Amino acid sequence: MNNKLIIDKLLELHNGDQKQLDVILSDTNRLIVEAPAGYGKTKTLISKIAYLILTKQVPVNKKILALTFSVNAAYNMKNEVVNILPTLLLNNENLKTSDMEGKVYVSNFHGLCRRILKKYGYLLSKELKNIDQLINIDDSSENNLNKFNINLLEDEKKLVKDISIASKEYKEKYIKENYLQYNNIIKTKYIEKGVISYNSIITLTIELLNKYKNIRSFYTKFFPIIIIDEFQDTNILNWTFIQLLINKESKLVFLGDSLQRIYGFIGAIPNLIDLTLELFDMEYIALEKNYRFENNDEMLLLEKNIRENAKKPINPSIKKDSNVNFKLYKNQIDEAFGIVNQIRELQSKNIKCKIAILVKQRGPNINLILEALKYNDIKFFFGLFTDEDQRYIRFHETCLNKFYSIFIEENRNLSKKNIEFYLNEIKKEYNNVSDAMNNSLFKLLHSFLEKIVNEFKGLQNSDKYRIIMDTFMNKSLRQNLDILDDNVIVTTVHGAKGLEWDYVILPDMEKNQFPNYNGLCNRNNCIFGDYCIFSVNENNEVEFLEELSVFYVAVTRAKKEVFFTASQRSFVREDFQPETNISCLLRLPGINIKQTNETVSV
């Protein structure tokens, strides 16, 4: 297949989108792509991989390394590669499907490090040969130390805790000075108890590559092309590791969106795209066409204007205001039942439409919404658990242990009968206790396993087992919320990142709620009235952009439309419902709220 035929096919596939084609056809060795939500990033990425392979830019016996932040995103990408890549440009019978698939290794950071440690980790500790049998734990929790009888001295406990904090707070110097001592604790006191920490999977790999230059050299040559998706979410441990795989000859393609960096609280490096542009002297291309909202002028304008506020927070360039749907209620109870009415209206037009109610954090106001949904017999999926929720963490650990004993040790396949047996064994662990969170986690687990069996048919069984185990190890079940058959989902904005629904409802668009008190409302830069206006300046710009990123992610989870609601009084308790103001985020330059004051009959 000659290059002209390849380029002609790409022109056809991408409808002449010049920026997408610039990315795909770029011959630069170092490229950063700004890829906002809905701009065709996945299609562009798969075509880029196909172009690199078909134009023979991947040397014989070498692979493209494609990495992403989450387990779910990594294996969705792998599935795209397996199912779409072979048919994307294959009009040549001489080019085998296996030739295409075998040129790409897709993983998340922990998955790649785990693979490296499984192969060469014995050089650090002989037990790392059996890394898949080690239980993965979060070592920032002292409960885990007690649970697995890991006896640490006080100074060792402090170091373990400080490494965890340093990885979340971007303390690069501290990690570089102390990670070897931390690794020694893992090797001598964790692994002997049959456990390994989440962070140490990365830090042990960093030690291995630093200590054994021949192994590092092998991987830099084995992966001559490195692609990283969701690059803005990279933390300091991942960034330290990936730099060890880069040499002067490495081709780099990093895709991300600086406005979707909402994981700063768990260590995503600030301004990483700008830092990397300078560090590696990279070419920068920004995708420009929003395909998600291309037939919805108001949503298209809203997305554009939020991004303009991010480009120039102090003085954004706004050409036309976007009109948004906003309803103001007398109190939180009315708002809750107003949301019920909104759901009913949407479902009256399409009973199968998917609706997400996204919240900044759980609180009394959200509990009222849940009660209103129950009162009106609206079925919904309860997805308000967080990565730090201990019940959520323990559920993954239970799932992992049972999966290993049933499917790995007993060598069972992923048949419907075996999956049902496995699910029943999990329920027995919880004594068949039924509550909102247990029911949701069981349902999410079931849907996830069905997805692996039904949608990932092209993958080998070993890959399917790896996906499942990686998901449990990384506590990533909630990244599959959008595959549920429930028509209404209630979850957090952070839990919804990377997912999408037909409609999104954003309640509590009020002062101290969205943004919350710790985000912006505790700063003295506000003008108050019926609504808040936040005055952005050089001193508060960073905090403003963090809140704007969360707002942007929330808005762009909608494929068709987003609805905003608020109430004039916040619900703290029955006898205390203070007055509040409409959120400053709805009074950003370029946003015009079509306000209606709603009265609801309960």
Q: Is there a binding annotation on residue 111?
A: no
Coil, strand, or helix at residue 179? Answer: helix
Q: Is 529 annotated as a binding residue?
A: no
User: Cα–Cα distance between 215 and 537 in angstroms, integer?
Assistant: 48
DSSP helix, strand, coil percent of the chain (3-state; round to 5): 55, 15, 30
Residue 35 among known ligand-binding residues? yes
Q: Which pair of tokens denotes residue 303? A: 């997305």
CB 108 within 8 Å of CB 69: yes
74 labeled part of a ligand binding site: no
Residues near 127 by Cβ (< 8 Å), separated by ≥ 6?
Answer: 134, 191, 192
User: Is 41 assigned a ligand-binding role in the annotation?
Assistant: yes
**Range 39-43 contact pairs with CB under 8 angstroms and sequence separation of 24 or more:** 39/287, 39/288, 39/289, 39/290, 39/291, 39/292, 40/14, 40/287, 40/289, 40/291, 41/229, 41/255, 41/287, 42/77, 42/80, 43/13, 43/14
Q: Confirm whether residue 36 is marked as ligand binding.
A: yes
**Could you give the CA distance from residue 91 to residue 75 in angstroms, rounded to a whole number?**
26
- Classify burial at 139, counting beta carbons within 10 Å of its beta carbon; exposed 0-12, middle 13-18, buried 19 or more: buried
Which residue intervals of 312-433 are DSSP H helices? 332-349, 364-375, 390-403, 416-429
589 in a labelled binding site: no
Distance CA 397, CA 422 (A): 14
Report d(CA 206, CA 179) in Å as an integer.
Answer: 9
| Length of the chain (residues) | 602
**566 known member of a binding site:** no
User: Residue 357, class by beta-carbon neighbours within 10 Å (0-12 exposed, 13-18 middle, 19+ buried)?
Assistant: buried
Indicate the annotated binding residues for ATP: 35-42
Indicate the annotated binding residues: 35-42
